[in-house]
Amino acid sequence: MPEPATPHLWVKIDLGNERQIGPGKIALLRLVGERHSIAAAARDMKMSYRRAWLLIDELNTIFAQPVLTTHVGGKSFGGAELTPFGVRLIERFDVITRRTEEAVRDELAALATEIQG
Amino acid sequence: MPEPATPHLWVKIDLGNERQIGPGKIALLRLVGERHSIAAAARDMKMSYRRAWLLIDELNTIFAQPVLTTHVGGKSFGGAELTPFGVRLIERFDVITRRTEEAVRDELAALATEIQG
């Protein structure tokens, strides 16, 4: 019988005016930073280039500073690099994820005992 | 110009095996408790009776104890009452919401300053 998984949180941040950031956009941004390419990150996440581009564009629109810079040419629709602000946004989201999870660890453990076997 | 809203969290709990509880199901459960009726709660939340019933049934299936008891007859498809476990589940979710928000208040405030005006 598989071990019951510990419950964990899925945290989104509602920034008002229908602007949200959550684990999906942050995972994409992180991957773009690692792959230096929106196209490669899109493939890794099994989403279309267009969808990935729209999500990144949404992040760039939400914040006063861009999260990413792209340069024309090169492989895969041009390279992409996180800006220092983009790097900081990912770090901030990771802090939020870690701290929220720690803040309710006992409640999540209690919930785990109440789940149907 | 409207005041910029403070960012806030939207927290779901992933209980494994595709079982989730989040603000939607908890809001419905709370409303059923207040209205003593799934049908009335469904109307208040502008969802079909069927959808409300399925969400409640999902909660009853996730946990070892039922969140709600219904009795046949009476108005609105029979009355419904939260069980003590259902009441506790709502309280626990409220604690989780409050504690997670408090745990990252400074990070949310920092994000607020970075949003596009």
Q: The complex's ipTM?
A: 0.85
Q: Do A16 and B9 touch (CB under 8 A)?
A: no
d(CA A116, CA B66): 10
pLDDT per position as a tens digit, B20-67 = 999 999 999 999 999 999 999 999 999 999 999 999 999 999 999 999
d(CA A113, CA A117): 9
DSSP state, residue A66: -
Q: What is the pLDDT of residue B5?
A: 66
What pTM value is reported for the model? Answer: 0.86
**Cα Rg for chain B, rounded, in angstroms?**
17
Alpha carbon distances (Å) from A48 to A34, A39, A45, A51, A54: 18, 8, 9, 5, 10
In sequence order, what are the beta bridge partners of B70? B80
CA distance B64 to chain A (A): 4
Q: Do A102 and B100 touch (CB under 8 A)?
A: no
pLDDT greater than 70 at residue A1: no
DSSP letters, A9-65, are EEEEEE-STT-EE-HHHHHHHHHHHHHT-HHHHHHHTT--HHHHHHHHHHHHHHBSS
- Answer whether CATH 1.10.10.10 is correct for domain A13-103: yes
Among chain A residues, the shortest Cα distance to B117 is held by A64
Mean pLDDT of the region A88-98: 97
